[in-house]
Amino acid sequence: MGYFKDAIKGVTWMGALRILMRFLAIAKIAILARILSPSQFGNYGIALLVLGFLEVLTETGINVFLIQEKGEVKNYLNSAWVVSIIRGVLISLLILLATPFVISFYNVPTAKNLLFIVSAISLTRGFINPMVVTFQKNMQFKKEFLFLGFLYLLDIIVAIVLGIFTHSESSMLISMLTAAMVEVLLSFLIFKQKPKFIFQKAVLSKVFNRGKWVTMAGVFNYVFQNIDNAVVGKILGTSQLGFYQQAYSISSIPVSEVGQIFNKVTFPLFVNINTDLPRLKKAFIKTILAITAIVVPFAILIYFFSRPIILIFLGPKWLAIEPVLKILAIFGVLKSLLNYSYTLFLSLKLQKYIMLSELFGITGMIIAVFPLTLKFGIIGTATSTIIAFIFSLPMVIYGIGKVFQK
């Protein structure tokens, strides 16, 4: 019963955090969409594509490892920090090296400075004290709400202020860099345990051995979620990419957000009860029914009132995304349920099922996205996300069956 109460509190605090974050994100988009052009949002999206890809490519799974382990985080603190710093430096260097290729591939010379800022973001994030993961591991969601809520508020304020004065898409990245720098500072001020740059070979070996599945799953998940963006940016240009990404963003408010709230809370909960299979199964079913009951009405709302939603949050120049938004609203529901199943696999250290599911999803996406985008534009791109989901679903069903077959 104690875990159930903790879960309820966690959902409440994480729900409040996601609502706050999305409210602020809506305010940011509503303001900046009237200042910046779709092509500027496309440039910003390309910079984030590069950052996101390299982050998952070098993902060590250290945070997942720390939550999965039932021992104290401080036992792995130094090694976790060493891994994080090395990863940050590596991503930063790779971004700098990849900049000429990205500019040439997308034909966006204006993205050069954006990629330099993104490189600095990655480098800065590497120095965050790994103790911040204890908020989630110990289900201290009130503290996580205050910590992340403050950082996100700072990010939004800086982005809006700079955007108003500069009319540049770099404002959104400079705000991320500012928040990252403050997060590093706070992570050392809040926690008594300070990491040291000390190599512990045995611990590092353990982390990397288990983290390989997280890395592979992360890479496939990234490709699954971003191959559509890459195809739109390359084939249709940055303006259409800006349109598509904003449609994707709205469709996830609040459909996929609800899933993320539950995922955040149930992951450490499932880790704590994963030896009691009947209890785990009961908790899994109850939660997936709760997610469905919440996300479906929101998806219906977005689907039938897409036009006024666009006019309110983005303005009339963005009305071209209306049919895309309808399709992505459906995908948002499907993806939120799929991701919740991944939380179950992570709690049982079955990352391989996630990797295989994402791999099948990528296969479906590759088969569909190029011909559909060429023929129907971003409407076809959005449709390909549904096809990708259909391809990824069988592995999830198989994995859940294997877990609860006893």
Return d(Cα 283, Cα 281) in angstroms, integer: 5
For residue 148, pLDDT over 70 is answered with: yes
pLDDT of residue 335: 82
Alpha helices in 252-377 (DSSP H): 255-273, 277-304, 306-313, 322-347, 351-376
What tokens does 75 get? 């036992």
5-18 core/surface letters (b: 16 or more CB in 10 A; e: else): ebbeebbebbbebb
Q: Are 212 and 199 in contact (CB under 8 A)?
A: no
CA 233 from chain centre, in angstroms, equals: 20
Q: Both tokens of residue 185?
A: 């500072």
69 — pLDDT class (breaks 50, 70, 90): low
pLDDT tens readout for residues 269-297: 787 787 888 888 888 888 888 888 888 88
pLDDT tens digits, one per residue of 35-58:
888 888 888 888 888 887 776 655
pLDDT tens-digit series, residues 337-386? 887 788 888 888 787 888 888 889 889 999 999 999 999 999 999 999 99
- DSSP string computed for 29-84: HHHHTTTS-HHHHHHHHHHHHHHHHHHHHT---HHHHHHH--S-GGGGHHHHHHHH
The tokens for 150 are 């403050």
- CB-CB contact of 250 with 325 (8 Å): yes
> Band of the pLDDT at 406, cuts 50, 70, 90?
low
Most confident option among 121-135, 304-318, 371-385: 371-385
DSSP one-letter code for 377: T
DSSP state of 192: S
pTM of the full predicted structure? Answer: 0.65
The overall average pLDDT reported for the chain is 82
How many angstroms separate the Cα of 58 from the Cα of each of 53, 66, 324, 359?
A: 9, 17, 32, 18
Cβ–Cβ under 8 Å, residues 80 and 195: yes
Residue 71 has pLDDT above 80, yes or no: no
- Could you report the per-residue pLDDT of 320-332, keeping only the tens digit for each? 899 999 999 898 8
Highest mean pLDDT: which of 12-26, 74-88, 154-168? 154-168
What 3-state class would DSSP assign to 191? coil
- DSSP line for 104-164: HHHT-GGGHHHHHHHHHHHHHHTTS-GGGGHHHHTT-HHHHHHHHHHHHHHHHHHHHHHHH
